[in-house]
Structure 1
């Protein structure tokens, strides 16, 4: 099995026509012609063979990269005792690499899932903080308007109510800045989630659920970076 050289193409193991020709004692040009005939005879075979090149003494020459199905189709025509041995070696090599790629994919998916979950948690926390600060800002604005009304109505105590009104105005301005900061934090969290999760089947539904109930203008602010 160690004699077999495989690489990857489109996420699957492939063998080169050049290496196959060498192992089975064939002329590479004859193997190339055999592949060309298979592709010409059946359009389904096109997905099994990928045109490629190799370099020899500074010049590039054509070859094919074939997946397991392409190799099996091509090797059907190879006979002899040694041919059988090489077929078995290639089958073992394909099995080993497919197992290795599956393990790598599983590990990568686990890391990806963890990154997505972490990003989701940040968006949820940012959304929660934004909602809390927005609700408090609304309350502050109501208190400001109430104090303003009292200040306008009670002239005798205008100094006292003017001071209260001023305090409420300061609180509102402070909370407006806090809400803007929370909005920015949510936008950044969504950007991070977009980087790790965009393209996954659940992405659109996930974003809809996380932004559900958000005022239209704020939702546009947080989603503008996703559509740029």
Structure 2
């Protein structure tokens, strides 16, 4: 659900004007946003409400204020517009029993240009609820080959990915869930060839529930 300041008709009018001013079509904008042309058509006809991340991406593309684009009576071009960059959602990560991580890009998320993240993964399962990371949340990952003990990381095990808190004790790696209903996964030094740290979890994004 959008903020109370969101005016769907004004959004549609302002989006069409921006597209016209920048020689964009529903096809070129759809390609930029990795959406279908029919979705853009529904935005411009005020028959479908875009997600806030889509609004932010459109605002960044055209250099306008997201609030203005949503219909607010504010300056169209603020003094400082935070640019955003596009990062891929790489398959699905399990927070519970690990599942096969598909390496194709499922979709894209948008983050500030200076955000130090490389990709994100969508959580499936409930093993990280103690860290307030729930099923369906998007976790933003900074790609790095190792993490400090106690940090949450995306870890690949035998070609499967999982999100866990990592502890390193005397050469042993413990992948610990944040839910007492799940057991630790313990890997000795000889097992470490099958364990690859993909990166550190920097932040996560939850849907309104």
Normalized against structure 1, the TM-score is what? 0.18
Which structure is higher in helix share? 1
Return the index of the structure with the highest Cα Rg: 1
Normalized against structure 2, the TM-score is what? 0.19
Which structure is higher in strand share? 2
